[in-house]
Amino acid sequence: MSKSTLSGEFCRDWIGGYGFGAKILWDELKPGVDPLGPEN
């Protein structure tokens, strides 16, 4: 988990909570991670 400040550009590109969550998960999760596995 990491902490960062959201830029205005990010907010415009990924409007709303679902968009933010999807983008952050896309960037932070490793490919092939088991959604129910202990490393997730």
4-13 pLDDT, tens digit per residue, is 787 888 778 8
Return the pLDDT at 16.
73
Return the pLDDT at 35.
82
pLDDT per position as a tens digit, 15-39: 777 888 888 888 888 888 888 888 7
**Single-letter code of the amino acid located at 30:** K
Predicted TM-score of the model (pTM): 0.48
Return the pLDDT at 31.
85
Q: How far apart are the C-alpha atoms of 39 and 25, rounded to whole Å?
A: 14
**Single-letter code of the amino acid located at 14:** W
Q: How far apart are the C-alpha atoms of 22 and 40, rounded to whole Å?
A: 15
The rounded Cα 10 to chain-centroid distance in angstroms is 12
Which pair of tokens denotes residue 27?
Answer: 């960037």
Return the pLDDT at 34.
87
Return the pLDDT at 4.
79
The DSSP letter of residue 39 is: T
